[in-house]
Amino acid sequence: MRVIVVVPTYDEAETLPGTLARLRAAVPEADVLVVDDGSPDGTGELAERAATVDPAVHVLHRSGKQGLGKAYVAGFAWALERGYDVVVEMDADGSHQPEELPQLLAVMAGVDGAQPRADLVIGSRWVPGGSVVNWPWQREVLSRGANTFTRIAMGLPVHDATAGFRAYRAPVLASLRLDEVESQGYCFQVDMAWRVHLAGGVIREVPIEFVERAQGRSKMSNRIVAEALVRVTAWGVARRASQVRSGLRRVVAAVRRPQQGS
């Protein structure tokens, strides 16, 4: 498989060099695409210097901070245009450990002995064996609660739908109408998993150890959390309404059937 890891950045000059070094050591056969949103701290320039000495590193510059979702969509489009087989999402801040990526890729390829092959593999904190390091209990409660709400509201069979360490099979990714994706932050991850599920894709979760960043500044905000809550609620309501309409159509059809036969 031709694999590319898409790493979005905004002000990650402190963390990106270490992440790239670890990633290239852990999965030397994979290419890397750094998608930089015009970082004022020089992250884009650091990525360019890495690309000059390592042909497996590529850089996509964007004009200003436009949001995580748009950065990933741009990176996905870049990767699909160049014929990669697997497209990986990974943060630049060290919270996603590159050393765990081979496990995700093995599951995607089906070489772990489990069938069928996956179309989306999620590095999950909330399946048996998964964990978080250096998180306050309030943040863990928020994440677990949000994922439980998502699973119930949307019927999405995923324990960690907000996780950002994941791998997509390119044909499935190409079928998802990426130009229509408007969500950001955690909501983007839920949105993408939901689209794969609706498309009939196979989703599997792999336990990972998520390590809270030790350098740089978190991009988490109340706005990101609020967007996820509003959108997931809306998607859940739409799903329930669709189920009710389908149920009513079945009832009407069942009532009409004896009349038609009389």
Q: How many CB atoms lie within 10 A of CB 156?
A: 22
Can you read off the two tokens belonging to residue 46? 């650091």
pLDDT, tens digit (0-9, with 9 covering 90-100), for 163-215: 999 999 999 999 998 988 878 777 899 999 999 999 999 999 999 999 997 65
127, burial (CB in 10 Å: exposed 0-12, middle 13-18, buried 19+): middle
Domains of the chain: 3-261 (3.90.550.10)
DSSP H or E stretch at residue 67: none
- The beta-strand segments (E) located in 143-262 are 166-169, 203-207, 209-211
- In this prediction, the residues of the chain whose per-residue pLDDT falls under 70 are 112-116, 214-229, 231-262
Do the beta carbons of residue 2 and residue 30 sit within 8 Å?
Answer: no
Do the beta carbons of residue 163 and residue 90 sit within 8 Å?
Answer: no
Cα angle 80-87-175, degrees, rounded to a multiple of 5 = 55
Q: What is the pLDDT of residue 57?
A: 98
Q: Could you write out the DSSP letters of every residue in 202-220? A: -EEEEE-EEE--SSS----
Q: Which residues of 73-91 are buried (b: 16+ CB within 10 A; e: fewer)?
A: bbbbebbbeeebebbbbbb
Q: What is the pLDDT of residue 181?
A: 87
Q: What is the pLDDT of residue 183?
A: 82
Task: Output helix, strand, coil percentages for the chain, rounded to the nearest 5.
Answer: 50, 15, 35
In this prediction the pTM is 0.84
Q: How do 209-211 and 131-133 pair as beta strands?
A: parallel
